[in-house]
């Protein structure tokens, strides 16, 4: 096992690689990072079962033994690539607390959907759960990303002790974003410019429904709507809803239902 430590890199392998693509010899850390980056690219474009150690070696301009020198096998490389991807995705959720809430969320969703598109096959394989390379570790990475998303949203809402209904609303919306991304990757029934604001508006609507059971959230939503701009996603939702609900088909019924029953 000692000969497998990265500090004892096999010189012949490095030279073999160098003869094929002449370049500066990579340090141990650089080589390790390069292999992870190459693996992440391949696992993003294909399901894990369709990527071999030979594919990774070829794409890295390295030999199969060199890859095995750094990683015990495909599973280890996959899990490391997955951790990197999870960290990168969680990083995309970070957003300044300035400006209208729906515009902040719209920017985050733009970065999220960009990530989803550039890791399409790997994202699908991972979340569909049908991958033979799936592992408890993969589940832990997914859970970490979900928790990061939930914490970021709750942080933007600025309620230090979120109610159970608010937590559930945010968690359910994160599931919505996942499912919607998966379905969207499968056949892209709408352009990203449609999906992105719609997901934002669905959270705004779900928060508003939750606010009927959470007075603290209702107060906070008042502040948020006050800060929204006329061209933002929340304002467009309010206008579209006002238009739809004012139609003859709906207005009379809603007015009748809004009036408390006399009993």
Residues that bind a copy of itself in the complex, under the rule CB under 8 A? 129-130, 136, 139, 164-165, 167-168, 171-172, 175-176, 178-180, 183, 189-190, 194, 198, 201-202, 205-206, 208-209, 211-213, 218-219, 221-223, 225-226, 228, 230-231, 234-235, 237-245, 247-250, 252-254, 256-261
What the block records as the tokens of 177 is 């974003």
CA distance 84 to 122: 13
Shortest Å, Cβ 55 to a copy of itself:
24
What number of helices (H) and strands (E) belong to the chain? Answer: 13, 0
CA distance 137 to 200: 30
Comparing CB distances to a copy of itself, the nearer of 11 and 256 is: 256
Shortest Å, Cβ 64 to a copy of itself:
29
Comparing CB distances to a copy of itself, the nearer of 25 and 213 is: 213
Shortest Å, Cβ 67 to a copy of itself:
29
Shortest Å, Cβ 107 to a copy of itself:
19
Shortest Å, Cβ 5 to a copy of itself:
31
Helix, strand or coil for residue 89? helix
Comparing CB distances to a copy of itself, the nearer of 44 and 181 is: 181
Burial 64-91 (b: 16+ CB within 10 A, else e): eebbbbbbeebeebbbbbbbbbbeebbe
Helix, strand or coil for residue 190? coil
Comparing CB distances to a copy of itself, the nearer of 8 and 186 is: 186
Tell which residue, 94, 84, 89, has the closest CA to residue 145: 89
């Amino acid at each position: 096992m000692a000969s497998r430590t990265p500090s004892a890199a096999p010189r012949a392998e490095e030279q073999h690689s160098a003869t094929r693509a002449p370049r500066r010899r990579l340090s141990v850390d650089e080589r390790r990072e390069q292999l992870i980056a190459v693996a992440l690219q391949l696992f993003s474009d294909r399901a894990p079962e369709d990527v071999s150690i030979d594919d990774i070696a070829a794409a890295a301009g390295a030999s199969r033994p060199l890859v095995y020198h750094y990683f015990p096998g495909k599973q280890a490389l996959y899990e490391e690539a997955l951790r990197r991807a999870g960290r990168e995705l969680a990083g995309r959720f970070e957003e300044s607390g300035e400006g209208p809430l729906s515009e902040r969320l719209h920017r985050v969703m733009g970065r999220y959907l960009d990530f989803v598109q550039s890791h399409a096959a790997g994202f699908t394989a991972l979340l569909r759960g049908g991958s033979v390379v799936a592992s408890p570790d993969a589940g832990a990475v997914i859970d970490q990303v979900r928790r990061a998303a939930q914490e970021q949203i709750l942080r933007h809402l600025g309620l230090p002790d979120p109610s159970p209904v608010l937590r559930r609303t945010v968690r359910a919306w994160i599931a919505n974003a996942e499912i919607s991304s998966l379905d969207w990757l499968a056949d892209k029934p709408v352009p990203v410019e449609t999906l992105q604001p719609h997901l934002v508006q669905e959270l705004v609507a779900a928060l508003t429904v939750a606010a009927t059971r959470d007075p603290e959230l209702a107060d906070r939503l008042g502040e948020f709507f006050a800060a929204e701009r006329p061209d933002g996603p929340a304002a467009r939702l309010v206008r579209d809803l006002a238009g739809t609900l004012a139609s003859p088909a709906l207005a009379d019924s809603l007015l009748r239902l809004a009036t408390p029953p006399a009993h």
